[in-house]
Structure 1
Amino acid sequence: MADLLETATKAESFKTLLTLAEAAGLVNTLKNPGSLTVFAPTDDAFAEIPATTLASWMQDTSKLKRILTYHVVSGDVRSDDLNQIDEAPTLEGSVLAIDASDGVKVNDAHVLQEDILADNGVIHVIDKVLMPALVAVE
C-alpha cells in the first residue's frame, strides 16, 4: 500500500489539494509513518473558491497551513468511527463537527467517498473546503 500522499496522487482528483499541501510544507506530514485521517476536498470543491483567494493563500503559508491542517485528524478514523462520533479534533487545533444522521457530513461538507486506505492513515473525500473559524475568508 502507499502513503497518504501517494494515495491522493494516484486518485487524480486532489491535484489542487496536493499543490497547496506542497506550498504549505505539509508533504512530509502526509508521508510520515503514524496514522492520520484526511478529509480531502476534491478539485471541484477547490474550484468553488475564487482563484484570487487561492492565490492569496499560496502567498500566506501560515494561513494555508491552518486551513489544510483543519482537514486532518490524528489517528485512523474510518467510516465505522464516523458513525459513532459527533466531533473530531484537528491538527490545526479546532474541532470538526461530524453528523452521520443522513449520510456523513463534516461541518457542512458531505463525505462523497469513505475509507480510501493508505499505509499511514485513511482519506475521506469531501465536497467542500473546510474553513477553521479563526481564518477569515476573503
Structure 2
Amino acid sequence: MPAFAAPGDMSGMHHEKTVQVGGAPMYPSKNIIQNAVNSKDHTTLVAAVKAAGLVDTLSGPGPFTVFAPTNEAFAALPAGTVDNLLKPENKTTLTKVLTYHVVPGKITSADLLALIRKDGGKAKVKTVEGDWLTFSKDAKGVAITDDKGHTGHVTIADVNQSNGVIHVIDTVMLP
C-alpha cells in the first residue's frame, strides 16, 4: 500500500464516507460498537452497554437501528440515576433502558420521515425492548417521544455502520 497516493488514486486506500460523532470519524465498514467506543460524546452509553452485557449483541450482524443518547443526555437525568443503573443489581433495568433505544432492522432518516408522512404526522416504531417510540417532525427536526411522554430530537442522523445505523439523540428515552 503506498504511503501517499496520487490525487484520484484510490488503490489500497480506505475512502469511506464518514460522519463525525464525538470528534471521531464513524466508519460504515465498522460495527456499532467499534465506532461508538471512539465517540467522546458517548462514553456513558458505551459504559452502560458494557455493564448490561450488550457488546456482543451490538457487535453482531444485526441490522440494528440505535438511537444513541449523548453524555449530556445521560447527565440530564435526575442526579444519581446513571450511577444507580450501572450497579450490577440493576442490570435488568439497565438492559431494558438500553434496548428501548434499539430497533430491529436498519431505519434511515428518510425511512422515518416517510413513516411519519404516511401515518399522518406521527409514526410508532417497536423497540427491541418491546415498547414503542413515537416519531414526529417539528421545528427542530425529527422528534422522538418515549412512553412516559419525554421528547428529544435526532441531532445527527444516518451514521451508517456495517450492522445498521446510529442516530444520535439528545435525550435518554425511558420505557
Return the TM-score normalized by structure 1: 0.91
**Counterpart of 1:69?**
99
Runs (4+) off by over 3 Å = none
Which amino acid in 2 is paired with 1:106? I
**Counterpart of 1:125?**
168
> 5 Å matches for 1:1-138?
1-59=29-87, 60-85=90-115, 86-102=123-139, 103-107=141-145, 108-132=151-175
Alpha-carbon distance between aligned partners in 1 of 2:125 and 2:109, rounded to the nearest angstrom:
13
**Counterpart of 1:135?**
none
**Residue 49 of structure 1: CA displacement?**
1.9
Q: Any idea what SS the aligned residue of 1:129 has? A: coil
Higher relative contact order (CA 8 A, sep 6+): 1
Alpha-carbon distance between aligned partners in 2 of 1:31 and 1:51, rounded to the nearest angstrom:
30
Any idea what the Cα deviations from partners look like across 1:46-70, whole Å, max 9, x if unmatched? 1112442112111200000000000
Q: Any idea what SS the aligned residue of 1:7 has? A: helix
Structure 2, unpaired ranges of 5+: 1-28, 116-122, 146-150
Asked if structure 2 preserves the Cα contact closer than 8 Å seen for 1:82 and 1:100, the reply is no
What RMSD in Å do the two structures reach over aligned CA positions? 1.1
**Residue 84 of structure 1: CA displacement?**
1.7
Structure 1, unpaired ranges of 5+: 133-138
Alpha-carbon distance between aligned partners in 1 of 2:138 and 2:77, rounded to the nearest angstrom:
28
Alpha-carbon distance between aligned partners in 2 of 1:105 and 1:7, rounded to the nearest angstrom:
24
Q: Any idea what SS the aligned residue of 2:86 has? A: helix
The structure with the largest helix share of the pair is 1
Percent pairwise identity: 41
